[in-house]
Amino acid sequence: MAYTTIDDPSAFFQCEIWTGNGSTRSITLSGNSDLQPDMVWLKQRSGSENHNLYDSIRGAGVRLIPNLANSESTTNELTAFNSDGFSLADGDEVNKSSSTYVSWNWKAGTAFSNDASSTGIGSIDSTGSVNDTAGFSIVSWTGTEANATVKHGLSSAPKAILIKCRATDSRSWVVYHDSIGNTHHLTLNETDAKADSAASFNDTSPTTSVFSLGSSNNANASATMIAYCFAEKQGYSKFGSYTGNGNADGPYIHLGFKPAFVIFKDTATRSWYLMDNKRDPENVVNIRLFPDAGDGDSTGLNVLDFLSNGIKIKTNDVSVNASGNTYTFISFAENPFVTSTGVPATAR
């Protein structure tokens, strides 16, 4: 059996950076040209504008803000999803003249619709877009504020799920992560520690067909909802945890690939960290963004190395390496450690 089924991760996920021109423009992704993104998460690097997240299910121009609990809004700043990227208007959050930006882009692409009463899959109807090869789906449904199950479209159980109420303000992002289990959740727009709440996921792990929800008005409000579901694929994505050692010679985290993107979160009260291979193309990696805040790029701390098969922590900073603390991570590949034809990844 081949080590991975995804020899070119850039067919399904890419980071991109650009400098704004204050006008309308198209951003062409620099990796595999077949990636038509279905989810674009972007951030101004050189200023304190909010994170922006767009997807093809809600439609271009309809924004969610990962660092805030706000409902979705129509901005028309991302105006189209293109066959090899996306188009932008001149808004400060996406394309202000001389400002620098980064985006993280995922491909789904196959539409699905589930009538739960007809199929017997789940208890709530859902629609969405899925890429089972890459283990990614976008799912929309109308919540009930009662225990329920929702079809996610994948053939394997998601390891991480980001959930947001679309229609009502003051509803925080809810994050399921396999490493903390189905009894707890994280909050993307907050620094909060993991929270014990059966109301989020009904203390039930996702299956190969559905994810479970409780009565939380964050995870399952009586309103339109959206979820971004990620299943693990060897050589392409990894969702796990590690324990900090409090030493500048920090832990090694085996991923099975050279990373392109990683998000860390201490399960105690502390900020999320987001790092990638485009803003930091060489080791040591030190440019951070914070999914829970609008701050621009932060530097001045040598955090980690991206290796051919994982990550090596290079600091005792408590944000990623407090002694005895548990850190979750979400990561995607630049290259698999070994391709299906036996070609190894090269180190930086």
pLDDT per position as a tens digit, 170-192:
999 999 999 999 999 999 999 99
Q: Which pLDDT score, from 0 to 100, does residue 239 have?
A: 98
Instruction: Provide the whole-model pTM.
Output: 0.98
Pairing of strands 184-185, 174-177: unpaired
Q: Is the predicted pLDDT of residue 334 greater than 60, yes or no?
A: yes
Name the burial class of residue 49, with classes exposed (0-12), middle (13-18) and buried (19+) by CB atoms within 10 angstroms of its CB.
Answer: buried
- Separation CA 38–CA 224 (nearest Å): 19
243 within 8 A of 324, measured Cβ to Cβ = yes
Degrees to nearest 5, angle at CA 150 with 103 and 269: 55
Q: Which pLDDT score, from 0 to 100, does residue 300 have?
A: 87
Q: Is the predicted pLDDT of residue 291 greater than 70, yes or no?
A: yes
Q: Name the token pair of 281.
A: 């193309």
The SS3 call for residue 219 is coil
Instruction: Supply the DSSP string of 38-50, one letter for each residue.
Output: SEEEEEESSS-PP
- Separation CA 236–CA 5 (nearest Å): 9
Q: Is the predicted pLDDT of residue 160 greater than 70, yes or no?
A: yes
Q: Is the predicted pLDDT of residue 119 greater than 90, yes or no?
A: yes
Q: Which pLDDT score, from 0 to 100, does residue 109 have?
A: 95
Q: Is the predicted pLDDT of residue 1 greater than 60, yes or no?
A: no
> 94, 81, 72, 74: which is closest to 24 by C-alpha?
94
Average pLDDT over all residues of the chain: 97
- pLDDT band, very low/low/confident/very high, at 106 (cuts 50, 70, 90): very high
Q: Which pLDDT score, from 0 to 100, does residue 347 have?
A: 85
Q: Which pLDDT score, from 0 to 100, does residue 326 have?
A: 98
What is the CA 268 to chain-centroid distance, rounded?
20
